[in-house]
Structure 1
């Protein structure tokens, strides 16, 4: 995904003179050719992430469309105050592109982990959040975000599904178990694990790469009584949105995602998926317990 982002951004810088790119050393080497061609619109501020966002806000106020890029914990967590003040409060907009996701660089330690990034973005007003599940989904999402006029966050990962699923982010049914079946909503790169987890269960599976704004219309059309939400970041991030969308009907919600406990471990992204029970085995265990509870509650 990161390579596709680099290629697409390089193309955009050539195609659209309104596009700018602001870096804080991360990926500077990859964008060196673009910086040589467009030195006035490719700016590397050094290891100063707060300044990076402030510069992007200034560029936006001059009429440019800045893309701001770094690892998720540096881009969102470290520079959160600048996102709040230099972008939102100034009514300036930008396209943030984060890499590292929740624990892609777990081998680098806790400084490079950011399972709470989407939750933090969710405290800001009116942002679009895309969590692509495959590299082939990235170019269209990035181009649409840059062509728009609102603020957006693209969350890129080394984890991916076997194949892309296009669309505008509306819930897409990838497995239909029929009317009234439990609904599992998978966000981004957790889709394949979720499909494997419920392969022999009567569960409808829907996919989205756009948790914000969440497709509440699609959710209401698909949801029965049981809803399972699987997100590759902090557990429960979208629970309030799902619950609000279904507030007028009886429902049970199981939210699965990255746990809040600090594991204090290194390992690989796949290790962390397993430790947070976001692999197919862990997801199946959680889904079985949830659906068994639903049957008991119904007296079956």
Structure 2
């Protein structure tokens, strides 16, 4: 099986079309290099609409209305931001199910410039009710999330990026994984942020939670493992996207929250994905520096 998350998505999507006559794949040129064989065998259920993202989502919603289970795919910036009205109305307002898969994430296609960067996709999708939001941190999690989502009848968004962790975890919507237990702060690492978090916090007495599904949000596990009042949230997209959910979960518990993620600013140099990650403080060195400053604050002490 492919080790690259995007290739694993494409391979799994093609397999699902082969396995289930009710599954349709709709895409907009992007990842077409992976779909040639399955499209030639099933031209009625694998549809390339060209670079027409609003049409892409509407075709997917139309297939859902006809009883099909659509997988709808392109870069996240085009799928979520460009076609957001169609997502909101075609799937949500019409109350039909489907699986949207956005690749590229915040910086995968840094050389493509701002048009190809989507650090706000999860925040935007989070404004819509009834969506399960997957942020897999490993190719195996991509496959598991896609298979689970297609097997269901609800609405799901999968964020597929190239950065991944060394280890895969089970995909269980509504459940975070307890990776480490400690007496100090609780750190929630989302998707591909787990490995940088573990590297950054080596030697610190902290609890580390891992989330590969962020909606629904697992408030119960967060509350159950909380030791000290400090919580650190590390997300690979817009900083603070899940802050409200942390605050709601701990509304009756005194706490301090550090929300790390992509800063709300535009970096106007192209660079590489790793350079963008470092510039936003999401590499191990940046995470450690932010956590050290946070723990040196008025409530926390040295961990």
With the shorter chain as reference, the TM-score category is over 0.9
Aligned to 2:288: 284
Deviation digits for residues 237-276 of structure 1, max 9, x if unmatched? 0000110111011111110000001111111111011100
Q: Spell out, residue by residue over 1:194-244, the C-alpha distance to the aligned partner (whole angstroms, 9 max, x if none).
A: 111111111111101001111111111112311100000000000001101
Unaligned 5+ runs, structure 2 = none
CA distance in 2 between counterparts of 1:138 and 1:261 reads 29
CA, structure 1 residues 299+62, in 2 after alignment: closer, same or farther (shift >3 Å)?
closer
Q: 1:61-91 deviations in whole A, cap 9, x for unaligned? A: 0100000000010010000010011111111
Deviation at 1:294, TM superposition (A): 4.6
1:108 aligns with 2:112: yes
Give the aligned partner of residue 197 of structure 2. Answer: 194
Partner of 1:177: 182
Matches of 1:280 and 1:299 in 2, distance apart?
A: 18
Aligned pair in 2 of structure 1 residues 167, 47: CA closer, same or farther (>3 Å)? closer
Q: Work out which of the residue numbers 20, 38, 43 in structure 1 matches 2:42.
A: 38
- C-alpha distance in structure 2 between counterparts of 1:47 and 1:171, whole Å: 37
Q: Number of matched residues?
A: 297
The correspondence for 1:5, drawn from 5, 9, 31, is: 9
Matches of 1:211 and 1:54, distance apart in 2: 26
Q: Which residue is 1:144 aligned to?
A: 148
Structure 1 segments, 4+ long, off by >2 Å, are none
The alpha carbon displacement at 1:299 in A equals 12
After superposition, the Cα gap between the structure-2 partners of 1:30 and 1:275, relative to the gap in structure 1 and judged at 3 Å, is: same
User: Residues of 2 paired with 1:163 and 1:115: CA distance?
Assistant: 24
Alpha-carbon distance between aligned partners in 2 of 1:299 and 1:208, rounded to the nearest angstrom:
26
**In structure 1, distance between residues paired with 2:98 and 2:272:** 31
| TM-score between both structures, scaled by the size of structure 2 | 0.95
Match of 1:227 in 2: 231
Unaligned 5+ runs, structure 1: none
Question: 1:271: which partner in 2?
Answer: 275
CA distance in 2, matches of 1:199, 1:77: 37
Moved more, 275-284 or 166-175: 166-175
Cα deviation, residue 94, structure 1: 1.1
Q: Distance in 2 between matches of 1:182 and 1:211?
A: 20
User: What is residue 125 of structure 2 aligned with on the other side?
Assistant: 121
Distance 2:81 2:45 in 1: 25
Moved more, 25-34 or 183-192: 25-34
Please report the RMSD computed on the Cα atoms of aligned residues, expressed in angstroms: 1.5
- For 2:302 and 2:9, how far apart are their aligned partners in 1? 51
Matched, 1:247 2:274: no
- 2 CA distance for matches of 1:98 and 1:19? 18
CA contact (8 A) 2:171 2:213 kept: no
Question: What is the CA-CA distance between 1:167 and the residue it aligns to?
Answer: 3.9
Question: Contact 2:240–2:261 at 8 Å: present in 1 too?
Answer: yes
Deviation, 1:174, is 1.2
Counterpart secondary structure, 1:168: coil
What does residue 207 of structure 1 align with? 210
Match of 1:99 among 92, 99, 103: 103
Normalising by structure 1, report the TM-score.
Answer: 0.96
Please state if 1:88 is matched with 2:92: yes
